Structure 1
Amino acid sequence: MKKLILLLFLSGFLLPDLSFSQGSPDYNGGIKIKLDEEGSKYIRVISWGQFWAQYRDEVPDDVSKTNFSIRRARMLTYSQINKDFLILTHFGLNSLNGDNQSPIGTGDRSQLFFHDFWLQYSLGKDHAVGAGLHYWNGISRLNNQSTLNMMTLDNNRQSWATIGLSDQFARHIGVYLKGTFGKFQYRVAINETGTNTLDSGIDLADPDLNTGVTRYAGRELFGSKDAGKNFAGYFDYHFLDQESNFLPYKVGSYLGGKKVFNVGAGFFYHPDGSVIINDDLSLDGQDVAIFAVDAFYDAPLGENGSAITAYATYQNNDYGDDFTLGQTYETGSMLYGHVGYLIPNTDKKIKFQPYTSFNYRSIDAIDDNATTFGVGANAYFSGHHSKLTLEYQNIKYGDNDAQSVVTLQAMIYL
C-alpha cells in the first residue's frame, strides 16, 4: 500500500500511455501508474474541467444576461491486474452555477456523484462482458459521446435520449457485452430502469393535469415486473482506420490523427416505459422505442495539417403518444449533422477549427418543428488537452420566438 501511495505522488515521472495523446504534440500520455515491470498491471488516471461564460439576450430585465458556470469537473480511473479483468470508476459534477451551488458543499444541492462504475471480464481477445453503472449505450455514436474531445461546444442534447428518464445521467445499471468481428463493432446491454425519473412526483389524482398525458414513469407506476428492464445496442462498421472500443466513449474529432469512416445503427427499447393516464385515472402502458442510423468521417486533407470532421444522423423517437418533456424528450424524429475544418498551420501546437451544426426535429405533441443552428470555432493549444471554444447557437421551437446564446468555453484535460 505504501508503495502504491508513493507511486501516485511520483506519477509525473511514470511511463506515459501514448494512446491517449488526443491530438497533442507534447502531452505524452499523462498519468499511467505501472504496477509491474511489463506494464500489464497498471492504474490510469484522467481528469478534466470545462468552464463556461454564457451570454443570453432574451432574458427578463431582472436576470443577468451573462453567467458563469463549471460545465464539467470530472475524474476517471481504470486499472487492470491482467488483460482479463478491468475496473473503471468515473465521478464528478455537471453544470455548477450560482443558482445550484451549495453554501458548504453538502446537502440536497451537492452534485458530486458517480457517473460510471463497472467491472469487466475479457472473453478472449476481441470480446468482453461487464456489469455495473455503465456507458455502453445504444442508439447512436452521440449517445456514446466522450466529453473529452467533442468538436462542437457540447453534445447534441437530443442525442442523449434517456438522461434522467430511465438512467442516471446517461448511465444504466446493467450488464453489457461488447466486442469486434474484424471491422464490425458491437455493444449490447440489458439494464435496470430507475424509479426516480424526471417525470416522478406527478399528481395522478388531478385529472385536469394528467388525463390524456403520457408520462415516462413506467417502472414507478407499473412496478419492476412489467417495466423494470430496458434493452440497448449500437453497431458500427469501420471502413478505414479501426477505432478503439477499449472504453465506450466515442471520439468527437481526431484532428487529422486518424482516417475514419464509420456507419452505424442502434436502438433503445423499454417495454411499458411510458404510461398514458385515462379519464378514470387508470393507466395504460406504452413502449418506448428509439432507433438511429449515423455516419462519421474524420480524416486529414493532404500534407498541410488540415483535416475534416463530419457527422450525420437520423433518429426516430417514440416515447409514447404525443410525449413531450422540457422541449428535449419528445416523440417525433430528428435529423442532425455537423462539420468542421481544421485550418492548416505550421505551428504543431496551436490549431484552429471552425465548425457548424444543424438540428431539425419534428414533434408530434405540438404538430410542429424545432430547429437549432450552431456556428463556432475551437482554438487548440495542445490538442483536446487545452482548448478554447466559442459558439453561437440559435434555437427555434414551434411558433415561439427564436432564442440565441453565445458561449465561451475553456477546457483543460490531463
Structure 2
Amino acid sequence: MKKVILGFCTFFSLSLSAQTAVESEALKYKLNESGSRFFQVTFLNQAWLRFNQSNPGTTVIGDPQANTFDIGLRRTRMQLFGQITDRTFVYFQFGQNNFNSMYNSTSNRKIAPFFHDALGEYRVSSGNQLKIGGGLTIANGISRFSQPSIGTILTTDVPVFAQTTVDQIDQFSRKLSIYARGQVGKFDYRAVLSDPFPVTSNGQTPPALSTVSNFATKGHSLQTAGYLIYQFFDHENHTTPYMNGTYLGSKKIFNVAIGGAYQPNAMWSKSASGDTLYQAMQHVAIESFLDMPVGTKNSMISAYLGYFNTNYGNNYLRYNGAMNPATGTTLTASNSITSQGPTYGNAYPMFGTGNVIYSQIGYMLPSQTKGLANRWMPYAAATLASYDRLNGLPTNTFNLGINYYLNGNKSKLSLDYQNRPSYKVENSEIKAGDRLGTVTLQMQVFI
C-alpha cells in the first residue's frame, strides 16, 4: 500500500513540476513538443435532487407512496483518452449511473461502477477522412442522441429512447463493436458492426414468450448501424465517437442527418397457433441540428428536430424511468399494462414499436460580457410518441427548464420540470390516466 501511495505522490509531483506539459484548465499532458500527441483525464458528476409524482400503485420498499423525494447521482464518470501516436487514439470511460438510495435495494449497492468504453482507434488517413476503431464503444447509428456527450447536453437529461437497446442487449448503450468513421468534405459518417450481448445477461428475468414481441433468448446475430451527416457550416468535434449536445456558441453548426440500425432475428413472439416467430429489429431516424451564436450580445441558440421509426417487432413496449425512486407496485396484470420494465415510480412507455418525434430548443440569454460565466439558458423539449401497443393513445412527454452556467459545462445548475403520461387498464382496455410531474435540480461538475 505504501508503494501505491508513493507512486501516486511521485506521479503528481512530476505532473505539477512539468508545467509545460499541462494545458490551461484541462488535465491534459503533452506527449511531444507540439502537443499533437497527448493524454487527458476528465471527471464528471451529475447530482440530482428530485420531487416526483408517483405512478398509480407505486410502493417504496413495500410502503405506498403517492410522491417521492430523492437525492442521487445520475452519472458519475471518469474519462481517460489520448492521441498516443500520430495515428493511434485510445479511449476509456469508467463510472456509474442512476445511483440513489433505491439502487440495488435488495442486494449489493457497491457493484455499480463499470467500464462504459474501452477502445482503440487508428487514423488511416492524414486527416479525419477515415478512422478505424474497435472495442467496447457507444459508436452507433440512428441518431446523435444514440451516442450523446452527456457533459454537453442542453436539457437536464438526454432523450433516452434514442438509445434504443439500452441495458437490454448492450452495456448502458455500449456494445462490442468495430467501426469506421470520418469526415469527407461536408459529410460526417460512421458505419458500425456490433456483437450484442444476450438479453439473458442484463440482470433481469426476460419476459416469457408471448404474442407480444420481446428480445429473443435463443439465437444470436450481429447488428449493423450507420449514420451520415451533411454539415452546412463548421465541422462537428471528432476527437471521440461521442456527439455534442451543444457547443455553447463556440461553433456555427447546422446539420441534417439520417441514421439507422438493423439486427436480424433479434426479436421473437408467439403466433396465435403457438408457433415461434422471429423478427428483425430495425430503426431509422431523420434529424436536423442547429447550434450557433446569434445577435451581437454573446447569445446563442440550440435547436433539434428528429423523426424516429422504431421497430422492435409486434407490439413491443418497454417502460423506463431514469434513476427510478421506487421499488414496486400494488397493481396486477389485470389492471396494469404488462410490458418490459417496471411501471412504477417515474417510469413511462419510453421504447416501443411505432413512431417518435423529438424536438428541443434552447436560447442563451444576451450578456454584455463575453465568456460562459454567470449565463442563463432556458430550454424546452417535447417527445411525441405513438406506440402500436397503446392502441392510438399518445405518449407525449414535455420538459421545461433552465441552465445556469457558473462556468460553462464545467460548473452548472439545471432546473427541469417534466410532464409525462400515465395509463390504466379497465375491462382489459388501455386508457389514458392522469398526467404526472417531476421537478429535478441538477448540479453538474466537469473537469
TM-score w.r.t. length of structure 2: 0.82
Cross-structure match for 2:337: none
Shift of 1:328: 1.9
Distance 1:119 1:214, change over 3 A: same
Are the aligned partners of 1:102 and 1:109 in contact in 2 as well (CA < 8 Å)? no
- CA deviations over 1:129-156 (Å, ceiling 9, x no partner): 0110011111011112110011000001
Comparing 192-201 and 268-277, the one that deviates more: 192-201
Cross-structure match for 1:337: 359
Shift of 1:80: 2.8
Cross-structure match for 1:88: 91
Shift of 1:386: 0.3
2-side partners of 1:203 and 1:145: how far apart?
29
Shift of 1:6: 4.0
Which one of the candidate residues 173, 177, 201 is aligned to 2:205? Answer: 201
Cross-structure match for 2:114: 113
2-side partners of 1:203 and 1:184: how far apart?
42
2-side partners of 1:241 and 1:133: how far apart?
29
Matches within 5 A, 1:1-400: 6-9=10-13, 11=15, 13=19, 15-16=21-22, 28-58=24-54, 62-63=64-65, 65-100=68-103, 107=108, 110-124=111-125, 125=127, 126-196=129-199, 201-202=205-206, 204=208, 210-217=209-216, 220-221=217-218, 223-224=219-220, 228-278=221-271, 282-326=275-319, 327-347=349-369, 348=371, 349-367=373-391, 368-397=393-422, 399-400=432-433
Cross-structure match for 2:438: 405
Distance 1:185 1:243, change over 3 A: same
Shift of 1:11: 4.1
2-side partners of 1:330 and 1:109: how far apart?
32
Distance 1:8 1:270, change over 3 A: farther
1-side partners of 2:123 and 2:241: how far apart?
15
1-side partners of 2:442 and 2:404: how far apart?
10
Number of matched pairs? 391
1-side partners of 2:364 and 2:268: how far apart?
47
Are the aligned partners of 1:165 and 1:199 in contact in 2 as well (CA < 8 Å)? no
2-side partners of 1:184 and 1:9: how far apart?
44
2-side partners of 1:200 and 1:407: how far apart?
28
- CA deviations over 1:309-334 (Å, ceiling 9, x no partner): 10010000000011112222200000
2-side partners of 1:7 and 1:258: how far apart?
36
Q: Which amino acid aligns with 1:329?
A: F
Distance 1:273 1:15, change over 3 A: same
- CA deviations over 1:356-409 (Å, ceiling 9, x no partner): 111100110111211001100000011011000001010124512111000000
Q: Which amino acid aligns with 1:50?
A: Q
Considering only aligned residues, what root-mean-square deviation do their CA atoms show, in Å?
Answer: 2.4
1-side partners of 2:366 and 2:22: how far apart?
28
Shift of 1:8: 4.4
The percent identity for this pair of structures is: 30
Q: Helix, strand or coil for the counterpart of 2:169? A: coil
Are the aligned partners of 1:235 and 1:265 in contact in 2 as well (CA < 8 Å)? yes
Distance 1:355 1:285, change over 3 A: same
Distance 1:264 1:11, change over 3 A: farther
Shift of 1:283: 2.0
2-side partners of 1:395 and 1:151: how far apart?
19
Shift of 1:36: 3.0
Shift of 1:280: 6.3
2-side partners of 1:76 and 1:92: how far apart?
9
Q: Helix, strand or coil for the counterpart of 2:151? A: coil
Shift of 1:203: 6.2
- CA deviations over 1:153-177 (Å, ceiling 9, x no partner): 0001211112122211111101000
TM-score w.r.t. length of structure 1: 0.88
Structure 2 residue runs without a partner (length 5+): 320-348, 424-431
